[in-house]
Amino acid sequence: MSEWFNPVALLNSLIYSLLGVAVFWISFIIIDLLTPYALWHEIVKERNLPVAILAAAMCLGISIIVAAAIHG
């Protein structure tokens, strides 16, 4: 086995990636349930740009928190 390929590091990266995506989607669903309107309906059906920008900022914030928690 060559020294540039580490299967343990690859497995750990995959596990943490899947865990991060799962935490992100769960938190997005919780925030969607807490808002007084359906985020996905407002963004896709109504084409509400301010809600889309708010959802994008929320997604970035959640992603930064999840990445910081995984990275340590």
* Local structure of residue 35 (DSSP, 8 states): S
Q: 53: Cβ–Cβ under 8 A, 6 or more apart, which residues?
A: none
pLDDT of residue 63: 87
- Residue 33 phi, psi dihedral angles, 5° rounding: -70, -30
0.85 exceeded by the pTM? no
User: CB neighbours (10 Å) of residue 39?
Assistant: 19
Residue 1 has pLDDT above 60, yes or no: no
pLDDT of residue 60: 93
At 5-62, the pLDDT tens digits run: 888 888 988 898 899 889 889 988 998 899 888 888 899 999 999 999 988 998 899 8
Strands (DSSP E) contained in the chain are none
- The C-alpha atoms of residue 47 and residue 42 are separated, in whole angstroms, by 6
